[in-house]
Amino acid sequence: MYRYQILIEYDGTKFIGWQIQKKGKTIQGLIQRKFSRILKEKIILTAAGRTDTGVHAHEQSAHFDCKKRINQLGKFLKSMNYFLNKDGIAILKIKKKINSFHARFSAKLRIYQYNIINRLSAPVLEKNRAWHIIKKLDLELMKKGAKKLIGTKDFSTFKASSCKAKSPIRTMKLVKIKSTKNIIKIEFRSQSFLQQQVRSMVGCLKYLGEKKWTLKKFESVLKLKKRALCAPPAPPEGLYLKRVIY
């Protein structure tokens, strides 16, 4: 068997997420069908992370095995993109890997980015690409809150009820907030994340930025480890899987 890694860019707007489900259009399902047809064998994709409904990716990472060696990777890439581009998916790169490589378990760091458009007018060009918030956010207060999220902690407050992770303990390497011309970008770096963790953290940072919460309240919500205390999660359209580092 030959193992290959692919890097994928996609617009998650019209999909119900990465993972194949009984009903609905998924990114994994669409790519697997196209790959299986081209390679003339059943192909199973394993991704670095399962993005939810409406979530996008700048560079999702996945691997697959096939019986025959792909001799012309450039030609294969071009053929796949011919079929996938119209659905908002692009295969950026394909690489031959050793069989011990695993898109999920070999990952050392996952980088997510959340985009907020903070202005009165609703976005047109960035529709379904960011969270539109009208009320002016206090960036300095949000940055102070972001610092409280860094480190090894119990993130139960931000864990979805449907999350199957064995432990809520995660190590946040970085939470960084940048703002340029009413566009706020929040970057999160960790080896792994709980289901809905990023969107839940953004929701709480938004409450802080709107001054619905004080910094003391934000800290309290984190420390009490109760999901019921969490602010409503940010919508999926602002979230991007930016990169996976091995």
135 shares its domain with 234: yes
157 shares its domain with 226: yes
pLDDT score of 163: 92
89 shares its domain with 121: no
Look at strands 131-133 and 109-118 and give their pairing: parallel
Residue span of the structural domain in which 169 resides: 109-245
pLDDT score of 240: 98
133 shares its domain with 232: yes
Helix axes 139-148, 197-209, angle to 10 degrees: 140
Spot the catalytic one: 11, 52, 87, 138.
Answer: 52
Domain count of the fold of the chain: 2
- Is residue 104 assigned to a domain? no
Which two three-digit tokens encode residue 203?
Answer: 């929701």
Helix axes 197-209, 215-224, angle to 10 degrees: 150
Provide the CATH number for the domain around residue 169: 3.30.70.660
Torsion of CA 228, 230, 231, 234, to 10 degrees: -110
pLDDT score of 75: 95
pLDDT score of 80: 95
Provide the CATH number for the domain around residue 19: 3.30.70.580
pLDDT score of 196: 95
Examine the residue annotation and report whether 52 is marked as an active-site residue of this protein: yes
The alpha carbon of 137 is separated from its chain's Cα centroid by a whole number of angstroms, namely: 23
83 shares its domain with 118: no
Chunked into runs of 10 residues, the chain (246 residues) has average pLDDT values of 97 96 94 95 96 97 96 95 96 97 98 98 95 97 98 96 94 97 97 97 98 97 96 97 98
- At which of 97, 126, 144 does a domain end? 97
